Chains A and B, each alone.
Chain A
């Protein structure tokens, strides 16, 4: 079973627009990570936010974490065609030594 649920399952926007993806999870976590997966490839780590952090930035990425609502969001600003991929949130559950992934958001950037 998977811990997280991503919303929306699929998102299609125009190049240059911002893309927002949301992730909800069920149990207490140590940290939450976001990964990108291009078609037919492995996952690439994007950003990690710890349970005591509320917001983090990396380049065009902005991640927020609300532990009271057990949710996180990933914002990609000024999207590019190369951002087309599936995006997954993954949590490290307290007391468990593994990443638990959500089902992902498929993002399509139209040129």
Chain B
């Protein structure tokens, strides 16, 4: 079956522009996560949705970052007034919800964002 799909795969923007990154999770997966991965580092948690509810946004670096999942499926991560330090790979992951945190997460291939 189809895995987690992210678009675009690459995004180049000028500093100060707004960007929107899309994630299509695996159909039926309740949980959806966004991570930021700097070059040579592990992913860092940004935010978590259970269906349409954003239950944890503690990892969002600033109020310029905003995520939504209005219908409980597709999610969009928006970054306003981009800065050079926003350059990274943004990964989306989804998993079924079983009431505990033992389910593996299924990752998309990410969006590589470069801010000039």
Which residues of A are at the interface with B, using a C-beta cutoff of 8 A? 2, 4, 30-31, 33, 35, 40-45, 48, 50, 88, 90, 92, 97-104
Contacts and interface: CB of A to CB of B under 8 A. Distances in A.
A67 to B, nearest CB: 16
Contacts, number: 63
Nearest to B41: A103
Interface in B32-56: 33, 35, 40-45, 48, 55-56
Nearest to A106: B40
Contact of B56 (A30, A50, A97): A97
Nearest to A104: B42
Interface of chain A, main secondary structure? strand
A2 B42 contact: yes
B42 A98 contact: no
User: What range describes how many residues of B lie at the interface?
Assistant: 20 to 34
Nearest to B108: A42
Contact of A42 (B41, B44, B55, B110): B110
A42 B109 contact: yes
Given A97-B56, A98-B56, A104-B41, A45 B48 contact: no
Nearest to B104: A45
Contacts of A90: 42
6 contacts: A30-B100, A42-B108, A44-B107, A45-B104, A88-B43, A98-B56
B104 A103 contact: no
Given A31-B101, A97-B48, A43 B43 contact: yes
Given A30-B100, A97-B48, A103 B105 contact: no
B101 A30 contact: yes
Given A97-B48, A97-B56, A102-B42, A42 B91 contact: yes
Contacts of B104: 33, 45, 48
